[in-house]
């Protein structure tokens, strides 16, 4: 089969398309014929080496985190899936590699594809859908009647998180450019802030939850729009000691994370706010919950562009411009 490899950690480098060995299929694995994948900024950050301390992949390795496809074979212990099933997934860390013609995925990370979606649409969902779910449901316990501020509403996570928050009954504020205002309103945003013309800190007050995806300066400003007792969930850092403990990282790395997050944790504590860093995990069970919402019409994928498999590096370059509205998808023949 053919797959795209990270040959060496290097900022802005191209992924190399070459032949790869067929995946090993363990007793709990499902072999998937890949029909579509989607790209995430996490893919480019891993390629650049930004996550070496917490995700020590050794080049060369196959890249990619999102996939939709058809089951080709199942391991001896697999009971939930059968040959021919249409599925989608965000494989667990350590077992990524969706930028390939085939991939073996642990059954716990897999779910049946929503019947209402094409393979391209389904491939756009797992990473951003699970990120939004784990941030708003697991970490923030967002409830009906609460107010949530979701940054970068027209991005991959933002477009999904706005819809999930509205489904949960929350009032949603978001930032975007004026050109994307109509898009995020149609997704359910109640308050839309043009980040080029307005300062969200002057527009928002007394919010219950912030989903931060920007830099530390923006995170610090976000704390000031939260009420006392509010929750700030950051998917862009800084990582905190709880994350280092959860991942069982080297104590030295844990100390580094403690120092990096000390300032924001102190500001949050002084304001009576809970700060938590989220690095999402694969979960087939949560994807099943997301599937129900999609099939019920509560959430729809937002796709900006679809590229051919041979143009994956072009698709990555487009994603990195930061102009994509929703997700960038790559389809295979």
Q: Could you report the per-residue pLDDT of 79-131, keeping only the tens digit for each?
A: 999 999 999 999 999 999 999 999 999 999 999 999 999 999 999 999 999 99
> What is the per-residue pLDDT for 148?
98
Helix (H) or strand (E) holding 264: helix 251-270
**Per-residue tokens: 130:** 């699970």
- Give 121-147 pLDDT, tens digit per residue: 999 999 999 999 999 999 999 999 999
Is 90 exceeded by the pLDDT of residue 58?
Answer: yes
**CA–CA separation, 20 vs 5, rounded Å?**
9
Cβ count within 10 A of residue 289: 14
Question: Over 90: is that where the pLDDT of 56 sits?
Answer: no
Superfamily of domain covering 128-277:
NAD(P)-binding Rossmann-like Domain (3.40.50.720)
- The CA distance from 179 to 323, in Å, is 11
What secondary structure letter does DSSP report for 178?
G
**207-212, strands of its sheet edge to edge:** 191-194, 171-176, 147-150, 207-212, 226-234, 274-277
Q: Encode pLDDT of 164-214 as tens digits.
A: 999 999 999 999 999 999 999 999 999 999 999 999 999 999 999 999 999
Task: State which CATH number among 3.60.15.10, 3.90.180.10, 3.40.640.10, 3.40.50.300 fits the domain covering 2-125+301-331.
Answer: 3.90.180.10
Binned at pLDDT 50, 70 and 90, residue 163 comes out as very high
For the chain, the structural domain boundaries read 2-125+301-331, 128-277
What residues pair up with 171 in beta bridges, in sequence order?
147
Q: Looking at the whole model, is its pTM more than 0.85?
A: yes
- Which two three-digit tokens encode residue 79? 């009971």
């Amino acid at each position: 089969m053919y797959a795209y490899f990270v040959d060496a950690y290097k900022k802005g480098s191209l992924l190399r398309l070459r032949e790869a060995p067929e995946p090993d299929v363990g007793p709990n694995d499902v072999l998937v014929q890949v029909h579509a994948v989607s790209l995430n900024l996490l893919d480019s950050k891993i390629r650049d080496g930004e996550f070496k301390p917490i995700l020590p992949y050794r080049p060369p390795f196959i890249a990619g985190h999102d996939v939709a496809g058809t089951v080709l074979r199942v391991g001896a212990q697999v009971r939930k899936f059968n040959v021919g099933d249409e599925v989608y997934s965000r494989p667990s860390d350590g077992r990524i590699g969706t930028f390939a013609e085939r991939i073996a995925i642990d059954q716990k990370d897999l779910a049946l594809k929503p019947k209402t979606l094409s393979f391209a649409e389904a491939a756009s969902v797992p990473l951003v859908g699970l990120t939004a779910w784990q941030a708003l449901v697991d970490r923030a316990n967002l409830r009906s009647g609460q107010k949530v501020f979701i940054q970068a509403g027209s991005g991959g996570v933002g477009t999904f998180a706005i819809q999930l928050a509205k489904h949960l009954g929350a009032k949603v504020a978001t930032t975007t450019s004026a050109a994307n205002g109509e898009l995020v309103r149609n997704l359910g945003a109640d308050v839309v802030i043009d980040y080029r013309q307005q300062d969200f800190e002057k527009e928002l007050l007394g919010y219950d939850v912030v989903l931060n995806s920007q830099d530390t300066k923006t995170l610090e400003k976000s704390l000031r729009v939260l009420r006392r007792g509010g929750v700030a969930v950051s998917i862009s850092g800084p990582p905190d000691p709880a994350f280092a403990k959860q991942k069982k990282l080297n104590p030295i790395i844990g100390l580094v994370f403690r120092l990096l997050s000390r300032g924001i944790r102190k500001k949050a504590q002084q304001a009576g706010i809970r700060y938590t860093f989220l690095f999402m995990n694969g979960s087939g069970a949560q994807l099943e919950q997301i599937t129900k919402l999609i099939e019920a019409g509560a959430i729809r994928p937002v796709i900006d562009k679809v590229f051919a498999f041979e143009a994956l590096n072009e698709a990555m370059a487009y994603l990195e411009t930061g102009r994509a509205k929703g997700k960038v998808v790559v389809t295979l023949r």
